[in-house]
Chain A
């Protein structure tokens, strides 16, 4: 009995020593490894994510009146303005597109403490750093970036990421944008060779409630994907200096196009929080039945 107690005590001591490592720190830490090359699966919202959304299709998005007005003023010809041509898909949107995603970890060489989880996304060649060392987010006066400033923590085996310091960027790439005041919460959930990405976008200026989206990815064990995205703007259309293509209020010629094509009321096409809930379908059926 005494021996068993001693063994138990030794076991605890050894276990503790191994778990803590030199200096009392656990270099393994919680969570799972997300490292590897991942590719998106397009079984969700494939039409929007591939060819792109229709003009004035804001259905299912909890946008404010101001965001809707911004969208209706947006002319797709703005893509031809050189300064807009290489505009990066913001981190809150980039996981929707076709891309390759590489994830790796960076550890402190001395302690092997996890400092950051890094991501490289070939679309627009974006490198993203998710700091895992409890560092604070930068000052309000610091620059905002396409990938923002991200910190992460493990919640069981789920990597939860908080991002601030975003630029203006797409909510949906048909003119709906969130502002640089938006913040993003994400969850990366690994199930073997599958990775689920949950994004929760908050922007009190353009969204009346958080916009929640999910994307799935699969582990890619074969190399050979394209990893580059060189972009160089050119003058596609000569215009007077400073021209910004846009529609004046009430003059968007595509206002009814999506609604007419799918035979839904214009109010539905113009979105809003109500249109994102299942109950709206029955309201829509009643409206279209009349």
Chain B
């Protein structure tokens, strides 16, 4: 019943339906350095803690927001100062409002003293396309509450922060899973948060309606490959928190990158042979990976992946 309720809530929001449904209980794992992973709230959530406060990457679905805030509070009682969204989908941004309200922004100088709401809640960072897709054209009602919108967006390729003694980079990946994807790199902890560019639970979901594209997805995976440096004997080193699924490292990502590239090449070859979309979908082009990455239904199925690649490549022409 709870899952049904969550699904109903999600249905009203843009870019919905998580690849993994929220679970009753959240789970918190230390990744390395100052970074933790919270699972079970829809999309994965990363939390960086330190003397200055708390920074949260993604916030899960709205229905789990109170539990997410409680889980964050178990890690640190310092103020939540920043929320970063890796992309627009509701299983990653649904808890924005609640997490933001649980935090604060330090303000000062002569002007902010007269702005009563300047210090209310944490700042929410995202690439500008996330805000565009969460809000709506003038005069049109948005499905996302105003309090969940990003408060700080960036247009250039990256945004940099220094927080809790650590350089943090938010690196835009244009037209990948969506058009507003960002990687979040914690340079001292050596952890990178990928959003749904990389998941360990299904094929990539390329959201064509929100600006996603197979070549951008492949490029983003290759960018991530270059950021993640494996440790001694090809293991560990930079850890990757995927959008869904388990903590990974570069060899895990490598298997996924290879899979995406191989299937893209197969679809490309099918188009060259003159296959229609339906023929390509029926050709079993993902059969070697279906057992591992094929979602049974919803987002991330093999057929959806082939369709998204096909449409991306046709559009490119």
Residue from B233, B290, B291 within 8 A of A146 (CB atoms)? B233
Cross-chain contact B246 with A242 (CB below 8 angstroms): no
Complex contacts, B179 vs chain A, CB 8 Å: none
A23 within 8 A of partner (CB): no
Min Cβ gap B303→A in Å is 16
A106 within 8 A of partner (CB): no
A241 within 8 A of partner (CB): yes
Indicate with 1 or 0, residue by residue over B286-300, a CB within 8 angstroms of chain A CB atoms: 011111100000000
Cross-chain contact B287 with A65 (CB below 8 angstroms): yes
A145 within 8 A of partner (CB): yes
Cross-chain contact A141 with B239 (CB below 8 angstroms): no
Min Cβ gap B231→A in Å is 11
Min Cβ gap A227→B in Å is 13
A194 within 8 A of partner (CB): no
Residue from B219, B254, B289 within 8 A of A83 (CB atoms)? B254
A4 within 8 A of partner (CB): no
Closest A-chain residue to B232, C-beta based?
A: A125
A215 within 8 A of partner (CB): no
Complex contacts, B292 vs chain A, CB 8 Å: 179-181, 205
From B46-54, B84-92, B140-148, B255-263, the one touching the partner chain is B255-263
Within 8 A of A (CB), among B208-238: 218-219, 221-222, 225, 230, 232-236
Residue from A78, A125, A143 within 8 A of B233 (CB atoms)? A125
Indicate with 1 or 0, residue by residue over A223-265, a CB within 8 angstroms of chain B CB atoms: 0000000010000000001111010110000000000000000
Min Cβ gap B287→A in Å is 5
Known contacts A88-B235, A179-B292, A248-B265, A141 near B251 by CB under 8 Å: no
Complex contacts, A141 vs chain B, CB 8 Å: 27, 29, 37, 39, 245-247
Classify the interface of chain A: helix, strand, loop or mixed.
loop
Complex contacts, A146 vs chain B, CB 8 Å: 233-235
Complex-state Cα separation, A246 to B263, whole angstroms: 10
Within 8 A of B (CB), among A143-172: 143-146, 167-168
Complex-state Cα separation, A70 to B288, whole angstroms: 5
Number of interface residues of A (CB under 8 A): 40
Complex contacts, A248 vs chain B, CB 8 Å: 265-266, 269
A287 within 8 A of partner (CB): no
Cross-chain contact A139 with B234 (CB below 8 angstroms): no
Complex contacts, A87 vs chain B, CB 8 Å: 234, 251
Most buried by A among B219, B283, B289: B289
Cross-chain contact A231 with B233 (CB below 8 angstroms): yes
* A-B contacts besides A87-B251, A141-B29, A244-B261, 16 pairs, CB < 8 Å: A66-B287, A69-B287, A73-B288, A83-B250, A88-B234, A143-B236, A143-B249, A144-B252, A179-B292, A180-B255, A204-B291, A242-B218, A242-B222, A243-B261, A246-B258, A249-B283
Residues in chain A within 8 A of chain B (CB atoms): 64-67, 69-70, 73, 78, 83-84, 86-88, 124-126, 139-146, 167-168, 179-181, 204-206, 231, 241-244, 246, 248-249
Q: List 28 A-B contacts (CB under 8 A).
A: A65-B287, A66-B289, A69-B287, A70-B288, A70-B289, A83-B250, A86-B234, A88-B235, A124-B233, A125-B232, A139-B27, A141-B27, A141-B37, A141-B247, A144-B246, A146-B235, A167-B251, A167-B255, A180-B200, A204-B291, A231-B234, A242-B257, A242-B261, A244-B262, A246-B258, A248-B265, A249-B266, A249-B284
